[in-house]
Structure 1
Amino acid sequence: MTSATQHPPSPDSVLAAPVPRLIATDLDGTLLRDDKTVSDRTIAALADAEAAGVEVFFVTGRPARWMDVVAEHTAGHGMAICANGAAVYDLHRGRMLACYPLDARDALSVVAALRTTVPGTTFAVELTGGFAYEPEYPPYAPMPEALVAPVEELLGAAGGGQPVLKLLAKHPTMDPDVFLRTALAAAGQHAEITRSSPSALLEISGTGVSKATTLARCCADRGISAEEVVAFGDMPNDLAMLSWAGTSYAVANAHPDVLAATTHHTAANEDDGVARVIERILAAR
């Protein structure tokens, strides 16, 4: 990635790249507003991009079951890379197209390392068909249908044979960035570990599985090169994708590491930063 020092941050950096064939955008903190809605300006920009022949991919840490926030605005862009690259979904047909799971043995190795290194860590498991968590793990919302048991049991059973998309590790008090660095040092050899939440919540995927690797596969299937992709993001789980794409944008509200790593900056998610760039791309065509 090119250092941002060569491109001072501005709400509307000038796009200096080939006309893109695909736009890959994160959702939370990037495309979505803080209230988890999509603005009218963004809806129009996404539709205009597809009408102009530019594909749009949603690339998110969210599971497919949380994609309802954009499902009604997908128009032609029904492709979503979910769970930080662990799954590819066709949102129009409601079906999984590909899955790149976390091996349960690797997940157990991460659990053992973090239980030793960071006492007080609790765990949850994102499965292809649902969610499971430890009794001490605080879920995002009430989930009466979820499996509840020690994570060693959940991974041992692997959710009744369901592939594990992500292991989640949460700590009640630790600084999120310190938690990430500590986990990478203790268990990074067993899995991909990243974060996208403002809290101390880690997202753990199979080795070699990231937003970038799955986006690259999807683009290769379409004959699209990295240089023909424009990507948008805001958090550490976006860094691999932003590094891979030919042109990378951080929204103004992005994590400092993302602002420092991206080639271009745009306005914050609350100010339609993604839509502004798409509008300029289409105007340049």
Structure 2
Amino acid sequence: MREDGAVTSATERPEPHQPDPPGSTGPSVRAPRPVRMIATDLDGTLLRDDKSVSPRTVAALAAAEEAGVEVFFVTGRPARWMDVVSDHVHGHGLAICANGAAVVDLHRGGEVLEVRPLHRPDALEVVAALRTAAPGTSFAVELTTGIHYEAEYPPFHLDPGATVAAAEKLLAEDARDADQPVLKLLAHHPELTPDSYLSLARSVAGAHASFTRSSPTALLEISGLGVSKASTLAHCCAERGIAPEEVVAFGDMPNDVEMLTWAGTSYAMANAHPDVLAATSAHTVANNEDGVAVVIERILAGRG
């Protein structure tokens, strides 16, 4: 993005320099690898603000799959909130949910295939640290079976089947659903700014978990140590023999930054958080202007 705020053209980031092969008499020129995977965030990225997928985007996703380019949805959403895109996952049917904590099969009703959990002792350490460092914090616990929360936790998405209790009780070894993995711990503060809250949490509890955020409010998303969109996407790509240089990624919020810096080519949406704009050398138009579709169309047109 230029200093005047205009969006730059959606050009790909150049590949990093590679060492010359043995015996070479001069610099080598490597042809760019073909794109084999599109990895895209949902809210604020692929989805419009009304949570819809535009007809143009639907067509672009279908065209990518038809051309042999896999599309992975990589989101902070739990599997139960994936109905907005479940009809648009082709071939493999897989999506990465809960910021990398779960790989789910959308062709099978969001069945969880792989879990990278936040272990309960670590979650309890985080709760204790934030209660001390940021009084007024309230918590919710996202399990593979649903969400449970404290009475003070804001009513973002009420679940009639939820247990309402202190986080320490929800995370206890004898808690209801104690045999179910914890995908995320959510922490909300009513007064702190989102970025300052994230920095504080990382400083006091970063040894126990991974912290990120995707909400405009002071709502932290807390995963197992080392768990992120990037690490799970890297695992899924390795299983398919796909290199980072063959991945094009899209995102708009801090929970996308690691994925965007891992992928060979990455795009920030025009509506992205400043950290995302700074982390990417290519920008596309806003989510409400179908920025992901714009780039996919250019990629496919360039395949000739």
Match of 1:33 in 2: 48
Q: Give the alignment's TM-score, normalised by structure 2.
A: 0.89
Conserved 8 A contact 1:12-1:265: yes
C-alpha offsets along residues 165-206 of structure 1, whole Å, 9 cap, x if unaligned?
000000112110111011111111110000000110000000
The Cα shift of 1:146 comes to: 0.8
Separation in 2 of the partners of 1:159 and 1:239? 32
Which of 4, 7, 12 is 2:9 aligned to? 12
Match of 1:54 in 2: 69
Q: Give the alignment's TM-score, normalised by structure 1.
A: 0.95
C-alpha offsets along residues 94-124 of structure 1, whole Å, 9 cap, x if unaligned?
3211100001000001100000000000000
C-alpha offsets along residues 9-48 of structure 1, whole Å, 9 cap, x if unaligned?
7353223553210000000000000011100000000000
Residues 116, 237 of structure 1: CA spacing in aligned structure 2 closer, same or farther, 3 A cutoff? same
Separation in 2 of the partners of 1:236 and 1:142? 25
Conserved 8 A contact 2:8-2:282: no
Match of 2:21 in 1: none
Match of 2:248 in 1: 230
Listed as ranges, the gaps of 5+ residues in structure 1 are none
Percent identical across equivalent pairs?
A: 68
1:105 maps to 2:125? no
Separation in 1 of the partners of 2:252 and 2:84? 18
Separation in 2 of the partners of 1:223 and 1:249? 23
Listed as ranges, the gaps of 5+ residues in structure 2 are 15-31
**Aligned-residue CA RMSD in angstroms?**
1.5
C-alpha offsets along residues 246-277 of structure 1, whole Å, 9 cap, x if unaligned?
00110000000000111210000000000000
C-alpha offsets along residues 136-170 of structure 1, whole Å, 9 cap, x if unaligned?
11131231111111000000027331100000000
1:149 maps to 2:146? no
Match of 2:60 in 1: 45
1:248 maps to 2:266? yes
Separation in 1 of the partners of 2:276 and 2:92? 25
Conserved 8 A contact 2:57-2:293: yes
Conserved 8 A contact 1:9-1:264: no
Of structures 1 and 2, the one with the larger relative CO (CA 8 A, separation 6+) is: 1
Separation in 1 of the partners of 2:84 and 2:92? 14
Conserved 8 A contact 1:104-1:158: no
The Cα shift of 1:83 comes to: 0.3
Separation in 2 of the partners of 1:176 and 1:99? 27
Conserved 8 A contact 2:11-2:283: no
Aligned residue pairs, count:
280
User: Greater CA radius of gyration, 1 or 2?
Assistant: 2
Conserved 8 A contact 1:87-1:96: yes
SS in 2 for 1:67: helix
Separation in 1 of the partners of 2:92 and 2:56? 16
